[in-house]
Structure 1
Amino acid sequence: MSASKHALNWTTLLIAIPVGLVASLVTLAFRGVIDLINHLLFGSDGEITVAMHVWPWVFWPLLVGAGGLLAGTFLRYAVAIEKQETVQTDYLEVINARLDAVPTKTSLFRALSSIASIGSGASIGKEGPMVQLSALSGSLLGRWLPNALNLRNSDIVAMAAAAGLSSVYHAPLASAIFVAEIAFGISALQRLIPLIVASAVAVMTMWSLGFRSALYPLSDALFRMDVSSLLMTVIIGFAAGMAGWLLITLIARSKALFSKVRSLPLRLGAGGFAVGLLALISTDILGNGYEVIVRIIGGHYLLAGLLGLLVLKMLATTLSVGSNAVGGLFTPSLLIGALLGAALAHIAGALQLPVGNPLLYAAVGMAAVLAAVSQAPLMAMLMVLEMTLNSSLLFPLMIASVLASMLVYRLQSASTYPVVGSHFSRSEAKYDFDNMRVDQLIIPGAALQPDESVGQALAVSSLKRERYVYVINQAGQFLGVVSIHEIARKVLAQEITLDSPVSSVMDDNFPCIFQNQSMREGWEAFARVTLERLPVLNNPQERRFLGALTKTSLIQKAQEFL
């Protein structure tokens, strides 16, 4: 099979290496810009949750609000370009639709918007713009490659996106699976291997530059596998599902409210100002929350602090995302999950329940909420596993992630990634198609008695615009069809007249299908003939005529999942 028709080949694997290298350097550059802004604004390279204290508290809402105004200005330019040029900027949409390239100008303006939001303390993740810029770098690299390599630009964008995400979280396997699970809608081995290569190269690059430790220090703790611990895991899974559903719902409501503010700068400014007001209660809600997760895992919060910060972080994230701040939801989701898991574990401890190390449940909550919000449970489980380097968490992470994502799915709440909704819709449409019967798409068909004239057949054909007219007896039993072309040929040859009965030109060996056959069998029936419609009978024994099935109706139904 040629390289152009096969997803897995040596060329693809070799290209994945420089793609991973470039993507990791792009994420480092973005991180450097954020650090520079922090240094200029706060005179510190530390986390925004601590650095904000350099300014008097009265300035906090103004700083976050000003950042939102600037972010909205950049975002307005990006949206204007997208509308004018009718392009898709989001890398997941580019991969899913197999588009030619990630747009450069809109990606850069969105990145500037994100820098303004993140630099001023909006409750938004850094991974979104980092991965978007990584995808852009892959797209630019793909444009420079010779056409002879037969590589789709969207596949190179996918490699770069996986590598960028891997650079942020040091989780190559989870990053590769995320892109396959979200953008491709499948985890096919042929598509997954190049993503793993690109992600692994990105992590190796980060390691060689000194960024080698696990993101969250839980590798030495051991999850105790017993009934109470597993019960606690199940509770966290369901609670995380509800929290994920609530966060998705609040974000949707927030977007609807903020959409009433037409000006993007004012919209993001208002969102930033509101987040700044919440920061007056606790600056721990600012930023993406990485340092806060580390402190949670270190056991630095009591139950009241965990619950209060959980509510505040959900509100802050709702405001930032709802106001259209450009960024990711990964780390905010991880923080919300860590707060939820740790809080529930503290409650269990207060009730004297033997659940073991309560800090481990922070990691379980992280995976569960991330799975609920993204609807990518496999990615969430592997990402937390790779970030903590704690293999004893594998089973509880699996349980909690699946339960949380299933609960959100059953509540019919959309993923924060729109492309996931299209994958679910296609999957459901495919299931419906595979389980439908022919009789669900039957339309009426023109039919005559065998003793009626060919002139009547021509009239019916003209009225119904059908090439074939079906022939049935008085009991409704299907006898055959008459072809309008055959009638015309015989009339011109003077073999029949317009008063001749249709039985004289009837074809009694015409293909047909039955009402209880599946859509797939109907599809196969059309594949064997060149007809636009086929007669539908009740069963092979009685052969009672019910109507017709058209090829167009089948194709329209199949289009829902193709």
Structure 2
Amino acid sequence: MSISGRHILNWTSILVAIPIGMLGAMATLLFRALIEILTRLIFGSGDDITHAVLSRPWYSWPLIVGAGGLAAGFFLRYATRLEQQQTARTDYLEVINARLDAVPTRTSLFRALSSLFSVSSGASLGKEGPMVQLAALAGSLAARVIQRPLKLKNSDVVAMAAAAGLASVYHAPLASAIFVAEIAFGISALQRLIPLVVSAGAAVLTMWMLGYTSALYPLSAVHFDISFSSMLLTVVVGLVSGLAGWVIIRLIASSKRRFATITSLPLRLGLGGLAVGVLAIGSTDILGNGYEVIVRIMSGDFVLKTLLVLFGLKLVATALSVGSGAVGGMFTPSLMLGAMTGGIVALFANLAGMPVNNSLVFAAIGMGAVLAAVSQAPLMAMLMVLEMTFNSSLLFPTMIACCLASMTVYRLQSASTYPLVTEHLNRADAWFDFDNSIIAQYIVAGAALHPQDSVGKALAVSSIKRERFVYIIDEQGTFLGAVSIHDISHQVLDKAITLDSPVNCVMDSDFPVVFEYQTVRQGWDIFSGISLERLPVLNNSEERKYLGAISKTSLIQKTKTFI
């Protein structure tokens, strides 16, 4: 079978993915440099925020984070006004899903500035959100130049750039490509994944050539030992991580509702920053995205009591930062909360006398599990842990934990922090219902006459019910057929019958039917081959008892949930 040059998978898209990946890497490096510059201006140090903040007295921390939030709020308010004027969202995912032609330049830049002040001042947010958005913007700008001569879709180029941006942040090209595919495409088209992998891989190679060659969280020296106790603990970590993810999602949702009562964006983000700054007095480790803290957790620097306190503080700080509307990502905060969750479970198991070879392994497993729970993208989460740690022994336990965590959140009916994932899941549920629900669930009452009833009565029933066909049943309720009002009218006008003639003289005994036990899909297939709006529903093919009718409109409404 020949493949058209306009097909999604072609050499043009593969070759374009390489420079787009490099461009995405440069965009993330630029934002990283701006964060370091602004952090140095605020704290006099370019170190990680958890260390840089110590250069200022503790009583100034709430004011610094609050002021950062206030400045971020002004930029975000301006970006929001631009979006309202353009009646379009800034999110690059809207472009990938073809709901937006291109990534808006001004709103993306102002949102990035907002995030810059939030992250640099210490808000509990990840850097990956604005980095990926800027990478997507760079890809969108490039697409305006190359899409027409190369016959590429802007959405595909933006998807490549977004995968490249995320890969540049976490040095995890395959997981980044999977993430964009799961979030934006619903991973429904595997062929769309290949250019994303190429672009993400080119981004990581670019980072390596620039000196960023190490694993993000090196853990290659630690090995996961497969035993009954370790597998049991893996299951516990997965389930607990799912509950932790559910709490994170619910707490963020609650925080958003409370902050929504504050209409001023600068005031809202300022108050959120002020609250995070107050929490920082308890521990500066809650500030920023949590990268440095994850490294220390993976090194075993924290005892159980410290982890419990830090988990609670980080959870609240993240909910405050995200809930106030600060622009940033949820990746690294989720990874940090996950590392603490896995570490806490392992330390509790150790206290209970359960043999635990190394709690650091379960901290890494927890990282992936909580990320899977919060994002509802388990395939991405398990791959990201492998790529970030360079530890292949984590593959099997991370798969189990990520799937359990994701399923726990799904069963608790919590939405992903990425609305598009929730849409994909709802669409999948609707598709499943369409394939498995039965006709009996959609039966409505329908009028029926007996064979000896008159043609005039059939016309009257049709006029009242506004139906083209009237069904005929015997005294026991057995379906006999249907009469067409169109045929009755013609035969009355031709004087072939009178209004007093019995309906059985014009009855169609071979009228199509459906049965109550058939699936909705089977009913849809029957409707697709005929022009009727309604069909009679019978109990089974032997007794043929008339139960009511089902309409094509009801099935169309059912398909709207996943089309």
Q: 1:297 to 1:177 in 2, by over 3 A?
A: same
SS of 1:524 mapped into structure 2:
helix
- Structure 1 equivalent of residue 144 of structure 2: 143
Matched, 1:516 2:523: no
Distance in 1 between the 2:234 and 2:545 partners?
A: 58
SS at match of 2:537: strand
With over 3 angstroms needed to count, the CA separation of the structure-2 counterparts of 1:552 and 1:152, relative to structure 1, is farther
Shift of 1:496: 2.9
Letter in 2 for 1:133: L
Shift, 1:435, TM fit: 1.5
Q: How many angstroms does 1:34 deviate by?
A: 0.8
1:408-464 deviation line (CA, Å, top 9, x unaligned):
222222211112221221122222221211121112223222333333322222221
Match of 2:406 in 1: 405
The answer on whether the counterparts of 2:365 and 2:398 sit within 8 Å (CA) in structure 1 is yes
Q: Is the 8 A contact 1:515 1:539 kept in 2?
A: yes
Q: Which residue of 2 aligns with 1:282?
A: 283
How many angstroms apart in 2 are the aligned matches of 1:396 and 1:149?
A: 44
Equivalent position amino acid for 1:295 in 2 = R
TM-score (norm 1): 0.95
Which residue of structure 2 lines up, in the alignment, with residue 433 of structure 1? 434
> In the alignment, what sits opposite 1:53?
54
Partner residue in 2 for 1:176: 177
Quote how far apart the aligned CAs of 1:176 are: 0.9
Decide whether the 8 Å contact of 1:3 with 1:150 is kept in 2.
Answer: no
| Structure 1: gaps spanning 5 or more residues | none
Residue of structure 2 in register with 1:553 after alignment? 554
Counterpart of 1:493 in structure 2 is 494
Within 5 A, what are the aligned runs for 1:281-360?
Answer: 281-351=282-352, 353-360=354-361
Contact 2:136–2:162 (Cα < 8 Å) also in 1: yes
**Aligned twin of 1:128:** 129
Conserved 8 A contact 1:99-1:153: no
Structure 2's unaligned 5+ residue stretches are none
Aligned amino acid, residue 326 of structure 2:
A
Report if the CA contact (8 A) 2:49-2:288 is conserved: yes
Q: Which residue of 2 aligns with 1:532?
A: 533
Contact 2:17/2:196 (8 A) holds in 1: yes
Q: 2 CA distance for matches of 1:146 and 1:236?
A: 46
Q: What is the CA-CA distance between 1:306 and the residue it aligns to?
A: 2.1
Q: Which residue of structure 1 lines up, in the alignment, with residue 421 of structure 2?
A: 420
TM-aligned CA distance change 1:96 to 1:199, over 3 Å: same
Structure 2 CA distance for partners of 1:343 and 1:500, relative to 1, 3 Å: closer
Q: Matched residues in 2 for 1:81 and 1:497: separation?
A: 70
Q: Superposed, which structure 2 residues align to 1:97-496 within 5 Å?
A: 98-147=99-148, 149-186=150-187, 188-351=189-352, 353-496=354-497
SS state of the match for residue 359, structure 2? coil
User: Hey, what's the Cα distance between the residues in 1 that align with 2:473 and 2:344?
Assistant: 73
Alignment partner, residue 17 of structure 2:
16
Structure 1 Cα separation of the partners of residues 148 and 501 of structure 2 = 64
Q: Which deviates the most, 527-536 or 84-93?
A: 84-93
Q: Spell out, residue by residue over 1:497-522, the C-alpha distance to the aligned partner (whole angstroms, 9 max, x if none).
A: 33333223222222111111111111
In structure 1, distance between residues paired with 2:455 and 2:272: 74
Task: Give the deviation of 1:97 after TM superposition.
Answer: 5.5
* TM-score, normalised relative to structure 2: 0.95
Counterparts of 2:100 and 2:458 in 1: how far apart (Å)? 50
Aligned partners of 2:123 and 2:288 also within 8 Å: yes
Give a deviation string over 1:315-347, Cα, whole Å, max 9, x none.
111111111111111101111111222233334
Distance in structure 1 (CA, Å) of the matches to 2:6 and 2:498: 56
Quick one: distance in 2 between partners of 1:116 and 1:46?
Answer: 16
- Give 1:98 deviation, angstroms: 4.9
Give, in whole Å, the separation in 2 of the partners of 1:323 and 1:554: 42
Give, in whole Å, the separation in 1 of the partners of 2:118 and 2:287. Answer: 10
Distance 2:480 2:506 in 1: 12
* 1:37 corresponds to 2:18: no
- What is the identity, as a one-letter code, of the residue corresponding to 1:541? E
CA distance in 1, matches of 2:496, 2:244: 78
**Residue range with higher mean Cα deviation, 424-433 or 65-74:** 424-433
Task: Give me the whole-angstrom Cα distance separating, in 2, the residues matched to 1:487 and 1:140.
Answer: 66
Aligned residues: 562
User: What letter is aligned with 1:344?
Assistant: V
Q: Distance in 2 between matches of 1:88 and 1:508?
A: 57
Q: Is the 8 A contact 1:96 1:419 kept in 2?
A: no
SS in 1 for 2:471: strand
User: What amino acid is the match of 1:258?
Assistant: F
Identity %: 64
SS in 2 for 1:470: strand
Match for 1:507: what amino acid?
D
Contact 1:454 1:501 in 2 (8 A): yes
Q: Aligned partners of 1:344, 1:538: CA distance in 2, in Å?
A: 54
CA–CA separation in structure 2 for the residues paired with 1:109 and 1:84 = 15
CA contact (8 A) 2:515 2:541 kept: yes
